[in-house]
Amino acid sequence: MSFDNLDTLYRQVIMDHYKNPRNRGSLDDESLTVDMNNPTCGDRIQVHLQVEDGKVKDAKFEGEGCSISLSSASMMTQAIKGKTIEDALGMSKYFSGMMLGEKEADESNMDLGDIEALQGVSKFPARIKCATLAWKAMEKGFEENK
């Protein structure tokens, strides 16, 4: 049984974010709101972004999902707060690369924080879309409001 592999997927820090999601909730009407769903499972996530002077002042998320999609959303909101849009998008790009197994977390010169724990998802191709859901929502939000 390959539970070792499972342990790389469900790292303690991921389970912690799943159990105690950070930044769960909504922001006021002025914020940017993006809906994104995972067509393979019907999970839905809503990301709220408050941008001021080109910086992410606040970020929150709502929705239903699996441990991977919710913990990733929780970690993302934590990571992008205070970052410029450019940095947030750069982080998202790096994260996608990490999911595809093209980039290693420790090669990054960014402060990925807890996000590093999601690296194990790259070994589970069926779950990559769960991990990238919130990130795609953020990208879409910035794309549409350029």
Partner 1 sequence: MDAKAIREQFPILNQEVNGSPLVYLDSAATSQKPLSVIRALDEYYKQDNSNVHRGVHTLGTRATDKYEGAREKVRKFINAKSTQEIIFTRGTTTSINTVAYSYARANLREGDEIVITQLEHHSNIIPWQQAAKATGATLKYLPLQQDGTIDLEDVKATITDRTKMVAIMHVSNVLGTINPIKEVTQIAHQHGAVMLVDGAQAVPHMKVDVQDLDCDFYAFSGHKMCGPTGIGVLYGKKEFLENMEPVEFGGEMIDFVDLYDSTWKELPWKFEGGTPIIAGAIGLGAAIDFLTEIGLDEIAKHETEVSDYAIEQLNTIEGLNIYGPEKRAGLVTFNLDGVHPHDTATILDAQGIAVRAGHHCAQPLMKWLEVTATARASFYLYNTEEDVDRLVAGLTKAKEYFGDVF
Nearer to partner 1, 5 or 145 (CB): 5
The least distance separating partner 1 from the CB of residue 37, rounded to whole angstroms, comes to 9
46-55 contacts at long range (C-beta below 8 A, 24 or more positions apart): 46/137, 47/73, 47/77, 47/134, 47/137, 47/138, 47/141, 49/138, 49/141, 49/142, 51/85, 51/145, 54/84, 54/85, 54/86, 55/82, 55/83, 55/84, 55/85
**54, 126, 144, 146: residue in contact with partner 1 (rule CB under 8 A):** 126
- Contact set for partner 1, span 64-123 (CB under 8 A): 64-69
41 counts as binding partner 1 under rule CB under 8 A: yes
Interface stretch with partner 1, choices 5-13, 49-57, 88-96, 99-107 (CB under 8 A):
5-13
Is 18 near partner 1 (CB under 8 A)? yes
The contact set with partner 1 (CB under 8 A) reads: 1-3, 5-6, 9-10, 15, 18-19, 40-44, 64-69, 124, 126-127, 130
